């Protein structure tokens, strides 16, 4: 078993955090991802797997555990109330490549899940 990787999302104004924590099993190439949402509003998340036909959409209010394949990435992520803006700091697994430039979606087309095994990471999310 490998160690934990962490990516933290935090609002600077309200001192609220959304934290992503993954533990990967190297044998079967899956990651267990624990998502904690401590923001005031629900976090909407759309994930796409390595197979294009696999798309998962979910609303996370407080906590969610997922078992994901490597190569899974976030298509869209947004809060019900307010927009978020992401600044990546020392994140080798996070792709800055955007799929779309829609204004109503804050975080889109960034690789974030299941590829950050044994990497320490930090994300700052601020309200826009």
Gap between the Cα atoms of 33 and 42, Å rounded: 18
Separation in Å, CA 21 to CA 5, 51, 70, 115:
6, 23, 15, 12
Domain boundaries, given as residue ranges, for the chain: 4-127
pLDDT digits (tens, 9 = 90+) for 26-53: 555 666 666 666 667 777 777 777 676 7
* Predicted TM-score of the model (pTM): 0.53
Chunked mean pLDDT (size 10), the chain, 128 residues: 41 42 56 66 75 78 72 70 53 40 46 39 40
């Amino acid at each position: 078993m490998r160690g934990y990787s962490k990516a933290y999302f935090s609002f600077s104004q309200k001192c609220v955090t959304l934290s992503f924590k993954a533990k990967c099993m190297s044998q079967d190439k899956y990651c267990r991802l624990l998502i904690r949402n401590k923001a005031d509003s629900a976090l909407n998340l759309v994930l796409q797997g390595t197979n294009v036909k696999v798309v998962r959409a979910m609303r996370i209010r407080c906590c969610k555990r997922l078992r994901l394949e490597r190569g899974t990435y976030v298509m869209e992520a947004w809060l019900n109330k307010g927009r978020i803006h992401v600044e990546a700091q020392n994140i080798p697994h996070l792709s800055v490549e955007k799929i779309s430039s829609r204004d109503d979606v804050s975080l889109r087309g960034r690789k974030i899940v299941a590829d950050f095994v044994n990497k320490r990471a930090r994300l700052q999310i601020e309200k826009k």
